[in-house]
Structures are given as C-alpha cells and as structure tokens.
C-alpha cells in the first residue's frame, strides 16, 4: 500500500490581456476499489469560483471561470492518494478464437470502447501488430493483449516531441515513435480492431523513491509524472490494465485520474477565453510518497519534473473568437 | 434593457440621420451647381467627399470629382460604407436585430424604406438627377421620425434613439461647416466674394436658409452662417441644439439632474454645451474655426465612446 | 357539378385529394370553400394573392438564401387555398401526437438517466450510442420537471394508398415554422375574410401564451418574476423572423449569445444597468453551438459555461440538450416500441415502414430494392444525403449502393409514399391544380399534458409533380383549418 502526495500545477501565460476565461479540468484522482483519493483541492490564480460534476465516464470534472482581464492563469490541484495492492486479476483463459462469438455482444455493451475515435481510427496498419501479437501469445485473449502491449513497447521508441497533443495514431505509426499517449492509443486500436473493448487511462506514474530512483522508469517517461496507459475488457473477467509505454502491467506506482474513449475525453485542462493573445503553457507535477513502507511520514519532496521546462507544443486552451 | 438593444437603437438612429444628411447635401449642391460655371465644379463637389471621410476610396474609383461620380459614390456605392444605400441597409439591419423591441409600424416603415431605396435604379437616377432620390430619403427619414415618435414608448430605448440621432447630426453639421470653410480659405484669391452661392447651398442643405434671413435680415455672410449652424439655440440642425438634445437624453437615462453628471459622456456633453453657450463667433474665428470644430468633433467621438463604455460594453465585474 | 373558372380542368390523378372525393365531388368539409373559389374570377383571385404577398414582404416574413453569396431574402410562398381538417379527423391526430410526444420524452429521460430500456432490451444500446446526436455530456443531468421535449414539430403525411395519416419524421430539437402558422392565419383573415364566414375554424393564436406558460413553469427560482429569454443565433439565421416574432409575442427578451454571460454557474444578461440573472432560456441555437467550453470550441453563437449552469440546475433550457437522439432516423423505427414500452399503449398513428441498414436482413432487402425506396442518411436533415429511388438514374443508384455498404449504420430506407394533394393556385398556369402536401403540427408539453395548436403548418410542393415541400426547394405553405365540427 502506498500513499502519495500529488501537486499538479498548470500555468498559462498570455502575450496580452485575456478575459472571460472558462475552464474545465479533470485532475481529481479516482476513488474506487484499488485506489482511494483521501483529499483533493483545487486553487486558481486569479481566484475563481467553481462547480464540479461526474461526467459520463464517471470522472470528476471541475469547472471555473475568470471574468476580468488577466495575463496569466495558474491551476493547482493537490491530492493525497492511497494506492492499494491490486488483487491478482483472474483471467479465465478464454481463447482468442472464441472472441468472434462474443463480438456483437461486446459491441452492444461497450460500443464507446470498441468504436473508432478521432485519435484512434481503425487503420489497416493496426492489424499487422494484432496478427503478430496473436502469433506471439498463447492463444488466449489474455495472452494476446499482453503480447500486443509488449510488442508496442518493443517496436515504438519513446521520443518526447515526436508527436503533439492533437496527433492521432497515424503520426506515431508512421514515425515509429511517440509518447505515452500514442502508445496507449495504438494499443487501444489494436485490441479494438479484434472487437475487444478498451479504454484510455490518464494519470500519474510515481517513481519509486528519491533514495532508490528507478533510472529506467524516469528515462522511459521523460521525467514527467503525467502518464497514460490502457485498460482492456476481457469477457467474463473484467478490465485488465496494460502499460505499453513501460512494457509491464500497471502497479502501485500508477495513479488513475480519468477514463475515456481516447485522450479527447480526459484532457486534464481545457478552456476558452476572449482575447487575441497567444499563450504559453507549462505543466509541473510534484509527487512524493506521503508515508513510507514503514508508515513514517516522508518529508523531503521529490521533484519529478526538471525545473522550468515549458511544454509549448500543447495547446490545451483554444482561443475563442473575440466577440466584440 | 439589453445593452445590445440600446446599442442597436443608437446606431439605427445614427445611420438614418447620416443617410438623410448626405441626401440633403447632395441634393442642394447639385442644384447650386446648375447655376455655376464649369471650372467651379470641383469646389462644390470636393467638400462632399471630404465630409464623408471617404476621399481616398473615392479617388481610387473615380479620380476627379464631378456630379455624376459624387452622386453615384455617395448614394449607391456598395463599397462606400457611408453611401446612402449602405446607411439605410445598416439601419434596417440594426432594426432587424431589435424588431421584437421596436413597434411593428417602425419595422414596417424602415423595411419599406429599405425596399424603396433598393428599387431605385442607379443608372436611371443619375440621368434624372439626384432630386427624386434624395427627396425619397429625406421623406423616409422624416416619416421614420414621426412613426417612432408616435408608436414607441418614450422610455429609455427612445432616449438612445434620440442620442443617436442628435450626436450624428452634431457631427455632420460640424463637418459641413468645417469643410466649407476649409475650401473657402484654400481657394485662390479673388473668388471669395462670389461665394454667396456656396453658403446659400450650405444653408439650404440643412433647411436653414429661411431661418437665416429671418434672424439676420442681411445678405449671406460666412461668419453669420457659421454662427447660426454652430450656436443657434433653437434651430434643430445647429450643433448647440443637437448637443442639448444629447444631454437631455443622457440625463433621462441616468436620472441625473442639472449641475452634475453620472458618467464621462455626460461630463463631456456638459462641457461642450458650456462652450457653445458662452463662446462668441468672433472669438472662435480669432482662435481658428478649424481647430475649434476639430476639437468639437473629437469630443463628440469621445462622448460616443463613453456611451458605449457606460451602457454597451462595460467591463463585467462580478 | 362541372368544374369551372379557376379550377379549369382540375384532375385529382391517382392521389388522395384533400378537397375532392372524386373529380367533381368536393368532400363535405370543403364544399363551402369550393363554391366560393369556383365562383371567383381569376383576376379577383390574383389581386388577393398579391395583397397577401405584399403583407408578408412588409412584415419581413422572409427567409434568407445564400446561394448567390450575398444572401437574398425570399418570401416563403403562401398559397391562399386552405387545407381543411374536420374535427373527428383532427382528434385522432391530436391523441396520436400526444402519445408520441410523451413516449419520446420518456425515452429521453431514460437514455440520459437510468437507461432501463437497454436492460429490458427494447432497443440496442449500441444503436443509441452510435447516434450522432446522442450526447454523453448530457448523461446524468436532471432537467427541470423532467421535460425534454417542450416543443415538438412532428411531420405527418397522408398516404394516398390508404388515406391514412402517417408520421414521417419527429423534430424534437429546435423545430421551426410556428410563426408561419400564426402569420398565415393573420394574412388569410385579412385577405380572405369571406372564406372564414362560411366555416367555424378553431383559433391558433394562443400558442405564444401556452409556450410562455410552460417556459415560466421551468424557472429554477420559481415565482412570477422569472427572467425568460429566447436565444437566437442572430439575424443571419434563416428562422430569425420567427425568433423575433415569438419573443415579441411572449413579451420576453430576444438575446444573442453575446448578450449572456455565465459566472459561477449562474447565467446573466448584460443590460444597460448591469447584469441581470436569467432563469429560463428558450434556445434556438443547436446543441453543438450552445457552449464552446463543452461543445464546439469555435462557436461564437452560444454562451461558454452554459452547460455548467444547466447541469447545476441554475437555468432551464427548452428544448433540453441532447434531444437529437430521439429524432434520429434510425431511432424513428423504434418509436412505436417506445409507446408500447413506456406507456403500455398501442400507437395511434402509423409510422412509415423503415429498413435499418445496420440490420443484415434489412440491408439485403434495401440493396436489392433500391429503385423503389427512399434512402436517407440518419444524422442529416433538410433533404441532404437522400436518394429518391424511383427518379434516380443507374449511376446514382450504384453510387448509393456502395455508400450504404461502406457505412450501413448511417442509412435507413423507406418505401416512397405518394403524398396526398390539395388544390393550389399555380400562378404560371393561372388556374388551380393538385399539389402534394405534408403537415407539421406543433406540440407543447408541460410535463403533464400535451397541447397542440389545431392544425399546424401545411407545407406544399408548389412545383408540378414534386414531392419536396422544403422552402429551399420550391415549397410553400398554406393556412391549415381545423373545423369546429365536421363541415
């Protein structure tokens, strides 16, 4: 059982004054059988009043607005999360060849997680990965999905900046490279083409500790704690997590924030504002274990983000047309 | 009342007034020119283009200003945002966005004016001369005033119409006087004495020819014409009269009494009126008429902007 | 009685004629108006017609056509010969529509709420989830008083073969046209007062009052001083006349998106005296454009943050957001099932047989019978993405066959229905001739009962032989009379 303290701060700087800014964020970690969100709060600068709700996928959404002119916007989400030891997931060993019989039924129950999306079109290239995974697996559905995740991990290179936030899988398929968002999207595409429901998971990946930094992990996700992976639905077993970026199943270091059909459903921050100003975005995530394995408080903070690296490629906010 | 409705009323009135004023000036100039020699044409037509603030656009399409060109440009051109047809179109467009607010008669009236204006065939009218067309505009504007006065409740919406009408009129009169004097001073020596016609045309275009004679019992003198158009307390086209109307409109909306002001627009209007009340025309000429009118125009512009800031586009602070 | 004068050599053809039981035999409820028309000189009729046109023009009752890039305003042609419905016939239509509206409302409550209907397997979940206008953003929102379908326009036609009224299409998003019903009646009474004297015609002018009452009842703050507004996309919208007309008739503020602002989940309008809270929005802006934060980020017609206020219950919207799923052309085939499932009743009005290409058997049937069918793309409206089998050439039939095979879920097919005809004046011929019509009644639902203004909009295909009644394609309209009795 691990307890984490997370501080996710998002900052927009505008070239000129903007006003009437409306934002919607998905930053609150989930609270369910394998993860408890012990506390959550959100602060903005300039200050704002907000409302919250659960969306159709069960995610927590916070909305807020800032009317007067401003030149910067900072959104700070702070949470304490308890990650439980996940029970061993039982898979019933259903054969991949039996899947065809369940296809209609799965589509009827989970159309949203089977149908193609803007980020995950059902491209023919995906079949090649799917066929290879079917060959590599042990003939079961479970074997197939793990093989698919592993294949993607092996074949694609993690390269920061290889794609951008609006890239569909077309970009990473042609470059052979991408970031965790692309790895997850490709896995979704491969298994969905076989008729398996699969959903996108956004969240955080926590490095094990500052004392024993897992160099490989840090390298793999480029030093960022924000992460994305996938869950696949196995008939009569349930949702199975897969992390094609890491090439290993999600565990205690994975903190889930939101589910969706693809990235478009779970974008952490989305907004519109009035004004013609351009913007620069920087995102910073600080994670530290709140309690260590012996139950002692951890007081030193591990910064998982190199200081002041602005991510300019992301254009989460879309400027609305000025109305006057 | 919605800010947007107030704004549309304000502009509806301004566009109608601009169309009427332009029609008046066109008509009178045309008829004055009939009695002139050819080399003096330019003198008559140039000021009109300058007044409309569209000199550059005009030169690009026509080069030299003559009766036909000016008439077509000011009356019909789609690409001249101040042409009469464009003004009426924009007035109707504004009316259309608030047709749930204005009376049914007002809408039918502006709508039929729009159709009337669009039925005129520019080629035919240019052959016939501008009188028929300009008369229709002037009549249409008067009728719209009448219908409005008789069918719209005289509430704050009506006040925004009134403010729009009179601030436009004040500006147009100021431009008319300014441009005419400019031409007068720029003209080659030796023709100033003969410029009676030009001044007569100015007076006629604002419908003040008869009133001038009643007041001054003299021949037409430029200074007196200017005095009449700028400072006459009761002539409905003088700047002073127009600004008095603007002031009453603003006060009716804010509920402010004499001697104080509720916003910048009211303060500036008060200031303009003080000057119009106590300045003498001889002082104005000593200081320079152009700079006086220019300042007046700038203040009218600021008043318009501040009306927008106070009532149409105020900063939203929760 | 031999036909004469204006009627020339009127032919009823092989169609159901609303006026004539046989070529020279007017039906009882049309007898009086027939006599009136038959005794009129063509010139007299023409004069009245011009009178009526002028009235429409002066009122600006026009729609805008943008085909020439400049946007020209056109009159929606009005035909002076009314469509008449006797009382008993209307009562049946009325109860059929009321039933349908209630079922559609319950369906919307259900799919955006508990989704019982999927568990009970009365409609495939995947079919609903694949609808273009099924909005996941709306799931879980509780709408005021459980009303989704405040205003419905349901298109009816009379099948010439059976003489029976059928439902052709439901419009439960932002149906338009009611202003024409009211203005048509007004102009008709002015230009043809003598025609009304012979009949007792049920009035229609209580529509705005009834709509206003329903809107008022939705106010989250309660009380009589609810601030109600009509949200329009603006003057360039083809239905702008209707928006301003209804706002004026109901005495409510006509607003554009830029007049409204959301702060902290409350909607306000910008007035010359500052912000004023808004309680109810009768919106004539499509779902997609309502809120740039939730839907299309490029929309400038809506109000950012509006959905947040709606979700929080601080403002009511009519119609509800997400209604488009209920008038999807594939869902249409299930409406009779909704009526049975939610109301436990048999449908009173027949639906047109519909083949869903997403079903294998239906798909095969459609592909082998294309020349007899009308094929429609499910998410589209206004006649777009449509194939008229009988009039299409070989090439087009083949092209559609390919399109359907590539994306079966996107298409449905129906048999071609010979619409009934009403005698209508043809200015080119100078005589009266039979023209095809449909009927769009407007239904208002207050959460308990459905109120329908007697009649509705009769749209008429003014071109000879045409079955297309859309205004953009040569359609016009008629005043629709529901009689107090049978004649």
At C105-127, the pLDDT tens digits run 999 999 999 999 999 999 999 99
**pLDDT for res B42:** 62
Which residue on chain B is closest to C250 by alpha carbon? Answer: B100
**pLDDT for res B39:** 59
What confidence tens digit (pLDDT) does each residue in B88-133 have?
999 999 999 998 899 989 999 999 999 999 889 988 888 888 889 9
Contacts of A19 in chain B (CB under 8 A): 316
Q: Is B314 on the interface with C (CB under 8 A)?
A: yes
R_g of chain C computed on alpha carbons: 23
**pLDDT for res A88:** 65
Contacts of B315 in chain A (CB under 8 A): 68-69
Q: Is A68 on the interface with B (CB under 8 A)?
A: yes
**At C42, is the pLDDT very low, low, confident or very high (cuts 50, 70, 90)?**
confident
DSSP A258-270: EEESSHHHH-SEE
Report chain B's mean pLDDT, rounded to a whole number.
88
* Least confident among A45-59, B186-200, C220-234: B186-200
**pLDDT for res B183:** 66
Residue of C256, C261, C264 lying closest to B316 (CB–CB):
C261
How many structural domains comprise chain C?
2
Rounded to the nearest angstrom, the minimum Cα separation between A181 and chain C is 22
What confidence tens digit (pLDDT) does each residue in C345-383 have?
999 999 999 999 999 999 999 999 999 999 998 877 666
Q: Is C253 on the interface with B (CB under 8 A)?
A: yes
**pLDDT for res C225:** 85
Structure tokens at C132: 């273009």
**pLDDT for res C8:** 83
**pLDDT for res C292:** 94
Q: Is C311 on the interface with A (CB under 8 A)?
A: yes
Q: Is B100 on the interface with C (CB under 8 A)?
A: yes
Q: Is C261 on the interface with B (CB under 8 A)?
A: yes
How high is the ipTM of this complex?
0.88
Rounded to the nearest angstrom, the minimum Cα separation between A215 and chain B is 50
* Least confident among A253-257, A287-291, B203-207: A287-291
C44-83 CB burial, b ≥16 within 10 A, e <16 = ebeeebeebeebbbebbbbbbeeeeeeeeeebbbbbbbbb
Report chain C's mean pLDDT, rounded to a whole number.
91
**At A304, is the pLDDT very low, low, confident or very high (cuts 50, 70, 90)?**
very low
Structure tokens at A5: 């303290």
Domain boundaries, chain A: 2-84+267-319, 96-265
Q: Is B96 on the interface with C (CB under 8 A)?
A: yes
What count of CB pairs under 8 Å joins B to C?
61
Backbone torsions φ then ψ of C468, nearest 5 degrees: -95, 115
Residue C352 DSSP symbol: P
**At B256, is the pLDDT very low, low, confident or very high (cuts 50, 70, 90)?**
very high
**At A20, is the pLDDT very low, low, confident or very high (cuts 50, 70, 90)?**
very high
- Look at B317 and A67 and tell me if their CB atoms are within 8 Å: yes
The sign of the dihedral angle between the CA atoms of B116, B119, B121, B122 is positive
A319 pLDDT exceeds 50? Answer: no
**pLDDT for res A301:** 39
d(CA B260, CA B266): 8
Omega of the bond leading into A197 within 30 degrees of 0 (cis): no
What is the number of other CB atoms lying within 10 angstroms of the CB of residue C402?
10
Contacts of C261 in chain A (CB under 8 A): 20, 67
d(CA B103, CA C106): 41
What confidence tens digit (pLDDT) does each residue in B194-241 have?
467 778 888 888 888 888 888 888 788 888 889 999 999 999 999 999
**pLDDT for res A308:** 35
What confidence tens digit (pLDDT) does each residue in C207-242 have?
999 999 999 999 999 877 899 999 999 988 888 889
**At A322, is the pLDDT very low, low, confident or very high (cuts 50, 70, 90)?**
very low
- Look at B315 and A20 and tell me if their CB atoms are within 8 Å: no
A232 pLDDT exceeds 90? Answer: yes
Contacts of C275 in chain B (CB under 8 A): 316
Q: Is A20 on the interface with C (CB under 8 A)?
A: yes
Which residue on chain A is closest to C123 by alpha carbon? Answer: A108
Q: Is B111 on the interface with C (CB under 8 A)?
A: yes
What is the number of other CB atoms lying within 10 angstroms of the CB of residue B67?
18
What confidence tens digit (pLDDT) does each residue in C305-329 have?
999 999 999 999 999 999 999 999 9
Q: Is C297 on the interface with A (CB under 8 A)?
A: yes
Of residues C165 and A3, more confidence is placed in C165
**At C65, is the pLDDT very low, low, confident or very high (cuts 50, 70, 90)?**
low
B27 pLDDT exceeds 70? Answer: yes
- In chain A, which among 84-123 make CB contacts under 8 A with chain C? 107-109, 111-112, 115
Rounded to the nearest angstrom, the minimum Cα separation between B318 and chain A is 8
Residue C365 lies in a domain: yes
Residue C98 lies in a domain: no
A316 pLDDT exceeds 70? Answer: no
**pLDDT for res A296:** 56
Q: Is C264 on the interface with A (CB under 8 A)?
A: yes
**pLDDT for res A302:** 39
| CA distances from residue C302 to C136, C220, C284, C307 in whole angstroms, order as listed | 19, 21, 10, 10
**pLDDT for res B67:** 82
A2-84+267-319: what fold? Immunoglobulin-like (2.60.40)
Q: Which of C283, C314, C345 delimits the end of a domain?
A: C314
**At B43, is the pLDDT very low, low, confident or very high (cuts 50, 70, 90)?**
low
**At C72, is the pLDDT very low, low, confident or very high (cuts 50, 70, 90)?**
low
Of residues C468 and A262, more confidence is placed in A262
Q: Is B317 on the interface with A (CB under 8 A)?
A: yes
Query: What share of chain B has pLDDT > 70, as a percent?
Result: 91
- Look at A68 and B315 and tell me if their CB atoms are within 8 Å: yes
Give CA angle at C76 (C75, C82), nearest 5°.
Answer: 130
C82 and C188 in contact (C-beta within 8 Å)?
yes
Compute the average pLDDT of residues B183-191: 56
- Look at B2 and C253 and tell me if their CB atoms are within 8 Å: yes
**pLDDT for res B37:** 59
Which residue shows structure tokens 């998410």?
C379
Q: Which of C415, C439, C460 delimits the end of a domain?
A: C415
Residue C367: CATH number of its domain:
3.30.1490.270
Identify from A108, A269, A318 which residue to disrupt to test chain C contact, counting C C-beta atoms within 10 A and taking the largest count: A108
Are residue C304 and residue C362 in the same domain, yes or no? no
Contacts of C271 in chain B (CB under 8 A): 1-3
R_g of chain A computed on alpha carbons: 20
Residue C280: CATH number of its domain:
3.40.50.11290
**pLDDT for res A303:** 37
Rounded to the nearest angstrom, the minimum Cα separation between B316 and chain A is 7
| CA distances from residue C109 to A85, A285, B70, C185, C332 in whole angstroms, order as listed | 40, 41, 65, 35, 17
* Least confident among A204-213, B26-35, B253-262: A204-213
A208 pLDDT exceeds 70? Answer: no
Residue of B313, B316, B317 lying closest to A324 (CB–CB):
B313
Residue C378 lies in a domain: yes
**pLDDT for res A85:** 76
Could you tell me which of A126, A125, A266, A122 has the C-alpha nearest to residue A204? A266
| CA distances from residue B104 to B164, B190, B223, C308 in whole angstroms, order as listed | 21, 56, 45, 37
**At B186, is the pLDDT very low, low, confident or very high (cuts 50, 70, 90)?**
low
Residue of A54, A63, A271 lying closest to C308 (CB–CB):
A63
Q: Is B156 on the interface with C (CB under 8 A)?
A: yes
Rounded to the nearest angstrom, the minimum Cα separation between A15 and chain B is 20
Give CA angle at B81 (B77, B86), nearest 5°.
Answer: 65
Are residue C233 and residue C283 in the same domain, yes or no? yes
**At A295, is the pLDDT very low, low, confident or very high (cuts 50, 70, 90)?**
low
Which residue on chain A is closest to B317 by alpha carbon? Answer: A68
Contacts of C140 in chain A (CB under 8 A): 53-54, 56
What count of CB pairs under 8 Å joins A to C?
73
* Least confident among A92-96, C171-175, C468-472: C468-472
- Look at A68 and B313 and tell me if their CB atoms are within 8 Å: no
Looking at chain C, which subunits does it touch, using at least 3 CB pairs closer than 8 Å as the criterion?
A, B
Looking at chain A, which subunits does it touch, using at least 3 CB pairs closer than 8 Å as the criterion?
B, C
**pLDDT for res A112:** 96
**pLDDT for res A306:** 34
**pLDDT for res C199:** 84
Give CA angle at B169 (B168, B174), nearest 5°.
Answer: 100
d(CA A22, CA A67): 8
Contacts of B318 in chain A (CB under 8 A): 67
* Least confident among A202-211, B131-140, B264-273, B308-317: A202-211
**pLDDT for res A87:** 67
Report chain A's mean pLDDT, rounded to a whole number.
83
B284 pLDDT exceeds 70? Answer: yes
Residue of C126, C261, C311 lying closest to A107 (CB–CB):
C126
- In chain B, which among 284-313 make CB contacts under 8 A with chain A? 313
- Look at A67 and B313 and tell me if their CB atoms are within 8 Å: no
CATH class, domain A96-265, is alpha beta
Domain boundaries, chain B: 1-152, 154-318
Domain residues for the domain of C409 are: 353-415
* Least confident among A75-89, A110-124, B194-208, C447-461: B194-208
What is the number of other CB atoms lying within 10 angstroms of the CB of residue B45?
25
- Look at B316 and C271 and tell me if their CB atoms are within 8 Å: no
Are residue C300 and residue C241 in the same domain, yes or no? yes
């Amino acid at each position: 059982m691990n307890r984490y303290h997370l501080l996710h701060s998002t900052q927009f700087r505008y070239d000129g004054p903007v006003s009437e800014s409306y934002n919607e964020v998905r930053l609150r970690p989930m609270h369910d059988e394998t993860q408890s969100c012990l506390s959550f709060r959100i602060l903005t600068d300039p200050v704002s009043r907000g409302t919250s709700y659960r969306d159709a996928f069960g995610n927590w959404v916070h909305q807020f607005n800032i009317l007067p002119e401003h030149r910067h916007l900072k959104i700070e989400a702070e949470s304490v999360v308890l990650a439980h030891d996940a029970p061993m997931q039982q898979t019933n060993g259903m054969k991949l060849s039996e899947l065809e019989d369940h296809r209609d039924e799965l589509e009827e129950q989970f159309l949203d997680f089977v149908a193609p999306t803007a980020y995950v079109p059902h491209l023919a290239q995906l079949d090649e990965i799917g066929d290879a995974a079917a060959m590599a697996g042990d003939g079961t559905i479970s074997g197939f999905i793990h093989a698919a995740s592993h294949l993607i991990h092996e074949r694609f290179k993690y390269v920061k900046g290889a794609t951008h936030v609006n890239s569909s899988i077309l970009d990473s398929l042609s470059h052979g490279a991408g970031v965790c968002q692309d790895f997850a999207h490709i896995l979704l595409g491969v298994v969905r083409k076989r008729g398996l429901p699969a959903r996108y998971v956004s969240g955080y990946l926590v490095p094990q500790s500052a004392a024993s930094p897992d160099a490989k992990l840090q390298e793999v996700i480029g030093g960022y704690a924000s992460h994305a992976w996938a869950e696949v639905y196995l008939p009569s077993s349930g949702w199975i997590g897969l992390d094609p970026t890491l090439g290993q199943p999600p565990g205690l270091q994975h903190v889930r924030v939101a589910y969706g059909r693809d990235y478009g459903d779970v974008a952490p921050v989305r907004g519109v504002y009035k004004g013609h100003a351009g913007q620069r975005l920087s995102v910073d995530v600080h994670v530290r274990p709140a309690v260590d394995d012996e139950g002692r408080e951890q007081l030193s903070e591990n910064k998982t983000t190199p200081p002041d690296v602005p991510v300019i490629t992301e254009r989460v906010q879309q400027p609305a047309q000025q109305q006057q | 009342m919605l800010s947007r409705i107030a704004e549309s009323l304000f502009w509806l009135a301004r566009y109608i007034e601009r169309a009427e004023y332009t029609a008046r000036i066109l008509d009178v100039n045309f008829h004055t020119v009939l009695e002139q020699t050819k080399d003096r044409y330019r003198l008559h037509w140039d000021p009109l283009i300058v007044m409309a603030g569209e000199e550059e656009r005009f030169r690009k399409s026509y080069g030299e200003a003559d009766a036909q060109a000016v008439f077509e440009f000011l009356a019909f051109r789609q690409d001249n945002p101040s042409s009469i047809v464009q003004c009426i179109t924009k007035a109707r467009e504004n009316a259309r966005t608030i047709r749930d607010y204005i009376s049914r008669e007002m809408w039918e009236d502006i709508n039929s004016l729009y159709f009337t204006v669009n039925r005129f065939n520019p080629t035919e009218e240019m052959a016939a001369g501008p009188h028929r067309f300009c008369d229709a505009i002037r009549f249409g504007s008067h009728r719209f005033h009448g219908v409005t006065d008789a069918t719209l409740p005289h509430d704050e919406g009506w006040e925004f119409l009134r403010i729009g009408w009179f601030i436009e009129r004040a500006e147009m009169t100021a431009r008319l006087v300014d441009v005419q004097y400019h031409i007068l001073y720029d003209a080659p020596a030796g023709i100033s004495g003969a410029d009676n016609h030009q001044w007569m045309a100015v007076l006629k275009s604002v419908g003040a020819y008869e009133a001038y004679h009643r007041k001054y019992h003299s021949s037409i003198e430029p200074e007196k014409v200017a005095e009449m158009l700028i400072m006459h307390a009761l002539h409905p086209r003088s700047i002073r009269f127009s600004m008095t109307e603007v002031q009453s409109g603003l006060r009716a909306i804010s509920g402010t009494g004499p001697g104080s002001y509720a916003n910048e627009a009211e303060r500036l209007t008060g200031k303009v009126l003080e000057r119009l009340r106590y300045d003498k025309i001889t002082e104005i000429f000593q200081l320079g008429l152009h700079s006086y009118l220019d300042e007046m125009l700038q203040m009218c512009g600021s008043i318009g902007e501040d009306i927008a800031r106070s009532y149409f586009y105020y900063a939203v602070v929760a | 009685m031999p036909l004469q004068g204006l009627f020339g050599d009127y032919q009823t053809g092989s169609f159901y004629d609303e006026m004539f039981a046989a070529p020279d035999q007017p039906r009882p409820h049309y007898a009086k108006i027939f006599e009136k028309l038959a005794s009129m000189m063509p010139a007299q009729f023409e004069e009245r017609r011009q009178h009526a046109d002028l009235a429409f023009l002066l009122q600006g009752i026009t729609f805008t056509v943008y085909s020439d890039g400049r946007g020209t305003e056109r009159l929606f042609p009005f035909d002076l010969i009314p469509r008449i419905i006797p009382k008993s016939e209307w009562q049946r239509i009325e109860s059929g529509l009321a039933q349908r509206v209630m079922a559609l409302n319950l369906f919307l409550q259900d799919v955006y709420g508990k989704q019982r209907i999927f568990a009970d397997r009365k409609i495939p979940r995947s079919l609903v989830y694949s609808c273009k206008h099924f909005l996941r953003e709306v799931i879980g929102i509780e709408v005021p008083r459980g009303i989704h379908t405040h205003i419905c326009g349901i298109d009816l036609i009379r099948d010439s073969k059976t003489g029976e009224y059928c439902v052709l299409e439901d419009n439960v998003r932002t149906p338009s046209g009611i202003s024409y019903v009211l203005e048509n009646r007004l102009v008709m009474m002015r230009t043809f007062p003598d025609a009304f004297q012979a009949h007792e015609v049920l009035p229609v002018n209580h529509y705005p009052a009834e709509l206003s009452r329903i809107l008022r009842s939705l106010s989250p703050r309660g009380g009589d001083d609810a601030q109600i507004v009509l949200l329009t996309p603006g003057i360039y919208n083809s239905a702008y006349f209707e928006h301003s007309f209804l706002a004026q008739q109901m005495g409510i503020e006509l607003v554009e998106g830029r007049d409204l602002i959301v702060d902290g989940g409350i909607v306000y309008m910008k007035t010359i005296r500052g912000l004023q809270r808004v309680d109810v929005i009768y919106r004539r802006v499509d779902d997609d454009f309502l809120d740039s934060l939730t839907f299309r980020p490029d929309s400038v017609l809506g109000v950012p943050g509006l959905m947040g206020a709606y979700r929080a219950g601080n403002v009511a919207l009519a119609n509800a957001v997400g209604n488009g799923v209920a008038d999807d052309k594939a869902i249409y085939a299930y409406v009779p099932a909704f009526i049975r499932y939610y109301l436990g009743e048999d449908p009173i009005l027949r639906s047109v047989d519909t083949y869903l290409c997403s079903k294998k058997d239906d798909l095969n049937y459609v592909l082998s019978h294309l020349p007899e069918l009308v094929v429609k793309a499910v998410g589209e409206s206004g006649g777009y993405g449509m194939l008229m089998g009988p009039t299409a050439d070989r090439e087009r039939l083949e092209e559609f066959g390919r399109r359907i095979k590539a994306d079966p879920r996107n298409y449905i097919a129906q048999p071609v229905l010979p619409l009934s005809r009403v005698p209508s004046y043809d200015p080119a011929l100078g005589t009266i001739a039979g023209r095809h019509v449909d009927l769009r009644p407007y239904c208002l639902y207050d959460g308990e009962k459905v109120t329908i203004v007697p009649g509705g909009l009769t749209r008429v295909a003014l071109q000879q032989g045409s079955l297309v009644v859309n205004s953009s394609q040569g359609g016009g309209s008629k005043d629709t009379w529901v009689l107090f009795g049978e004649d």
